[in-house]
Structure 1
């Protein structure tokens, strides 16, 4: 089937791209004296390639939903079963992995204890939402600091460290202004937003 073969090729391209990026980062970490991490521009190019490949995969899946949903994987007579027995059994495996099966059984048992029918998706989703809301009420999500870190900041030592960090940040900004001829550098979050949404806000 052409769609399946095309999908396999695209997934292989994504695998190669991710492996290449991983090897670059690992090599730079292992041999810091000889090699440096890829530049931001190189990272951006790699991510752009990955996004293009993933977009292509999404298009193939969307355009061939019905055919892919009704397709069954099976080996051809020419498949080298002796050399790739492990791969074959993995591809044709219908049962979940033992640890996954344990998680599924535990979830089903827990849902029975709570008088929830896990087969009814809507009811189960509503229960999950209510659990998330009740858990969310037990926490405060303000900023990026924990309660302990906020308490430390109130101490004299914490205030000194905070002031020292601000001074370092000011020095960093002054240095960046010199490099950019007084222009304010873009925030990384704004860069990512532009990459994914095309917005410069």
Structure 2
């Protein structure tokens, strides 16, 4: 089987970028918590931009993982004879490690403990989530949605002034998108709040 080295290396690089982005944001918040009178929290727009970058990075990783699902399920990592194991002993140990890290074991044990203490049946919980999703979709099909404008607003949008206003709003949005493409990895625009909420509730990205 041909191993898609470029795609797998892209996953590793993206995960590293996500790690660095999260650590940077965490350091900024922790620095403020340690010195609240000397260091201000990042602005809302700054945090939102970082969040949008993270969403884009996660979306890229998810896409690569999905495209390489079969390879990842059937590939075992091991060093080739030519691998400089002496110089990169730490990396080899990490790649060959089968047992979860101690902190991961703690997360697993805590999750199991929480489930037992709350008497949560995960299987039933998943079944209920699937039923809820299908029920919402079923109910949505019984209605017609025309947006959030009043009749007066819809009438205004059809006038020349309304059309000019719509064009100006679109121009400003295009400018914001272009700025985001310049600062976002992959030249993609970030997700607005409505898209993020839709993804959280429906798992749909438009």
- TM-score normalised by L of structure 2: 0.47
